[in-house]
Amino acid sequence: MGTIVVLAILLVIIGLIIRSMYKDKKAGKSLQCGVNCKNCSGHCAHMQSDRK
C-alpha cells in the first residue's frame, strides 16, 4: 500500500514538473537556450538587449 502511495506522489510531482517545463517553453523560456545567439539563430537576441 505504501509503495502505491509513494508512486502516486512521484507521478504527481513529475507531472507538475513537465507541466511547468511545457508552460515555460510556450512562454519562450527554453532550457536549451544559453543566451548564446550565434548558436540559436538569434532566438535570444531580445534577452541580451534586456540585460545591458
Cα angle value 35/36/42 (rounded, 5°) = 90
> pTM, whole model, 2 decimals?
0.54
**pLDDT, averaged across the chain:** 75
* pLDDT band at 18; cut points 50, 70, 90: very high
Tell me the pLDDT band of 25, cut-offs 50, 70 and 90: confident
Tell me the mean pLDDT in the region 11-33: 83
52 pLDDT above the threshold of 50: no
- Distance, CA of 29 to CA of 10 (rounded, Å): 25
Say how far apart CA 28 and CA 22 lie, in whole Å. Answer: 10
Q: Among residues 27, 51, 20, 21, which one has the least CA distance to residue 37?
A: 51
Higher pLDDT, 32 or 27: 27
